[in-house]
Amino acid sequence: MTVTAARHADLPTSTAEHIALDERWSTHNYHPLPVVVASAEGSSVTDVEGREYLDFLSGYSSLNFGHRHPALVAAAVEQLGRVTLTSRAFHHDQLGLFCRELATLTGTEVVLPMNSGAEAVESAIKVARKWAHRVKGVPNGTAEIVVTGSNFHGRTTTIVSFSTDETARADFGPFTPGFRIVPHGDADALAAAITERTAAVLIEPVQGEAGVIVPPAGYLARVRRLCDDANVLLIADEIQSGLGRTGDLLALDHDGVRADLYTLGKALGGGIVPVSAVVGSRAVLGVLRPGEHGSTFGGNPLACAVGRAVVALLSSGELVQRSRELGTHLHARLGELVGRGVSEVRGRGLWAGVDIAPGGPTGRQASEALVARGVLCKETRDRTLRVAPPLVVGRADLDRGLDAIAAVLAR
């Protein structure tokens, strides 16, 4: 037997073999469903044994445009044949175009490109603190940021410092100071937390990990007014909710509210490469000077080329409109389950949190039952299913997935 043949003979082929390999060699920081994906296209994936599934999770909004969208793959392949990385020690021919096109799409002025969503949030925190010290006049080292409970902004040490999820926090201290936590949706509590040292309010317009929580009517507009009155920045984390997921380009658009800074990620990389960004006003992002912040891979040519293709897909508004229209259908169908195994449905666009009624399956059990019916979904917060098909999902596939959810939950 040749060396090559021996190597291939040692490769796993079954679902069980692949999972055993993962369990043996990877760190157990996730608890995935027992599906081993081998290929994917559009809104469906195929496992190593040839079984096909509908993807109703979309990589937590990373796959808003489905798997391997032809326009995004073409942009990546074309750029792979030219140059993939220069570092920011040099200019390259994709960065300025990407920043201009993303700023134009989002109605902002400048772009700070990064890689992961957590990096974007960390960057926004740093910018807000520097702005507070340099522009607002908050004494150095004393700036505070107000956040809301049940948030999810990432898992870095600083970010878990202001999480209320003990699973995210336990044993990771000591924690970073400088944050005030108030209940989500409580504008009075937020108003009381703002002081002369407050640099920013950081908020998810729709809380994803908490169960797709939409704030009360008028809440976000009041938050904007409170920030204006106190000369405080409003930072909107649109990493999961942005770029069409909620039926508007940005979730804040539903309330007619504008942020000073937005953090974007996930869908910005088209499901191909990690791409994130902080976008906002020049007056705020302009506090950064060379050497004060950066990333070797942030704004690399491959990321920018894919990001430009994502912006092009969104620019016509067609996918956003599709999310709005199909989202109306999705929420109508899920709403029929309330009182029949479901206690509540929340969300906007093609994004829903489905609370399973007491006496029904746990979120994990429901997710596993959906796998058996050919639908990939995932629980959050124990008894909530997070439903998020790609924006390109067909109406028939959407109904097929919703039929499976009804079969698992309805009673």
C-alpha to C-alpha distance for 164 and 152, rounded to whole angstroms: 9
C-alpha to C-alpha distance for 118 and 115, rounded to whole angstroms: 8
DSSP strand pairing (37-41 vs 179-182): unpaired
Contact 76, 302 (CB under 8 A): yes
C-alpha to C-alpha distance for 24 and 30, rounded to whole angstroms: 14
Give the active site residues.
152, 237, 266
Summarize the chain as % helix, strand, coil (round to 5).
40, 20, 45
Q: Name the nearest CA neighbour of 118 among 253, 274, 229, 3.
A: 274
C-alpha to C-alpha distance for 75 and 170, rounded to whole angstroms: 42
C-alpha to C-alpha distance for 27 and 43, rounded to whole angstroms: 29
Contact 136, 127 (CB under 8 A): no
Q: Looking at this protein, which amino acid is placed at residue 32?
A: P
